[in-house]
Amino acid sequence: MDSLTERKNAARKAAFARRKIAHVSGVGTAAHLSAFLAGHRGVPLAGYMAMRTEIDPTPAMEEASAHGPVGVPVILGAGQPLKFRRWEPGVEMIAGEFGALIPAKGDWMTPEIVIVPLVAYDLTGGRLGYGGGFYDRTLEGLRATQATLAIGFAYADQEADNLPLEPTDQPLDLIITELGQTTF
């Protein structure tokens, strides 16, 4: 294992521990995410269905779905970018890859705003994910064809210094936590 991989694994382990503590405390709220998205009504948006100790964007996604299309990510296979299936409150959901819930059926959509789950972030727009590269490939592809805003949504305690990043890691445009928003 090379030193970058070792550093990423160590950073993930520490960040998962911080995220778990924040999640258990129950301080997670999507109020600041909702407030930000209110200024982008009708813009195609992709969120995610929270798993384990991720902060939950669902309340903000529900509000946004009243004004425009909202999608959730679907993993098609290793090494591939994500696709986004149309979602709205009450749609039938099934377990997808890694146990993430996805709509059982529906149209595909292309988001212009992507709410990105993460393990850790820094104050320069760096994001440490789970290690599969799905969001990096997806954001790279979207940004090659259209303006795409990447919003990291996390607990404030997931902030870290000196994340071990690679040139293929796609930067966030802003981070929104339960405490507010930071633009890079």
**pLDDT tens per residue across span 165-182:** 999 999 999 999 999 988
Query: Is the pLDDT confidence value at 28 over 80?
Result: no
Say if residues 106 and 65 touch (Cβ distance below 8 Å).
no
- Which whole number is the average pLDDT over 45-54? 95
**pLDDT band, residue 57 (cuts 50/70/90):** very high
Is pLDDT at 47 greater than 60 in this prediction? yes
CATH number, domain 3-183, options 3.30.420.40, 3.30.1330.60, 3.40.50.10420, 3.50.50.60:
3.40.50.10420
Query: What was the pLDDT predicted at 1?
Result: 52
CA angle at 38 for the pair 32 and 44, rounded to the nearest 5°: 110
pLDDT of 3 reads: 87
What are the respective helix, strand and coil percentages of the chain, to the nearest 5? 30, 25, 45
The model carries a pTM of 0.93
Q: How do residues 10-24 score in pLDDT, each as one tens digit?
A: 899 988 899 898 888
- pLDDT of the residue at 134: 96
| pLDDT score at 15 | 87
Tell me the pLDDT tens digit for each residue of 32-44: 999 999 999 999 9
pLDDT of 2 over the 80 cut: no
Amino acid at 20: K
For 99-152, what is each residue's pLDDT tens digit? 889 999 999 999 999 999 999 999 999 999 988 999 999 999 999 999 999 999
Beta strand residue intervals within the chain, DSSP E: 45-46, 70-74, 83-87, 93-95, 101-103, 108-109, 113-116, 120-121, 127-128, 149-153, 174-177, 180-183
Mean pLDDT of the chain: 93
Confidence band, pLDDT 50/70/90 cuts, at residue 67: very high
Q: List the chain domain ranges.
A: 3-183
Percent of the chain with pLDDT over 70: 98
